[in-house]
Structure 1
Amino acid sequence: MKSSLRAFGIGLFLAGASMALFDNLSSDSIQKDNTAYEKQLDDYEKQIAELTKQLNEQKPDSDTSNKTDEQTTRTTEKKSAATEEQNKSDVVEETIYIYENVSIYTIGQQAEDLGIVTNGRELELYLSKPEFARSIQKGAFDLRSDMTIEEIAQVLTGQPTE
């Protein structure tokens, strides 16, 4: 019994000693890391001061900056017009064919597959509303991708558009 207590005591002593040793090592490495970070911070502050000085020396006069702003505005307007023109040309125009007893799910999936809507499930849910579900017409319907879900539903049900 005494030997097991002695062994247990020695084990506790060794565990405590190793923990103390590792604590000292980690605090030394933390101090080294802190010193390195402080040096790096000083270097960054010097770089910021240098760049600020350069920026102040190279300040453009207001006339030049106004001309640059006008050029930027014109360029932005041209890009907007080009994007708008491209969006008009990206409109998908397709014909959906609806036959007797076709499901609303099939209509939504067909519209999504043709690129008329991005989410066929959304069209399906909209068409399931009572005012549309009972009045979907059979036939061929020309639809465009720039139409809203409501407009598509009105075309498929033969309801007048507002």
Structure 2
Amino acid sequence: MRKSSIRAFGIALFVAGASFAFADFLTQDANTEAANINVPKGTILIKKDELKAINKEAAEAKEQLAKIQTDYSALKNNTVAVNASAKKSVKSFTLVIKKGMGTSEVSSALEKAGMIKDAGDFELYVIKNDKASNLQIGSYDINVKMSTAEIVKKITRSK
């Protein structure tokens, strides 16, 4: 081959490459430019209008959360007040002792009903007076005016 034909072939390749590069440069859009930016792996690029929409949704979510928290606090305070007044208004209670119940279950039921102040003290009294094995299955009407001794006498059988 001749030098001139090799030179012509090289120039043709150069012109073709330059024309492809120029055509690619003219057709690039914003997304292609953003893809060419060096960003750390795992980073997501979003448009400004998308960012504004996300920020607006976040602000609305914060407002809803604040409203829910205030509603929950009000509800919690109201529930505690109702429970406190309910315990004060309870004057009597029907204690049901079932088969297999021990002194701890009986004492916790009495404490939850507001008939005694401390389940541990009641349980200790029953055990100390050797009445734990004498608990009787049945239903018993208990009221707040009864002493620990009266309650124990009512729910146990004497030896």
TM-score w.r.t. length of structure 2: 0.41
Greater helix share, 1 or 2? 1
* Structure number with bigger Rg: 2
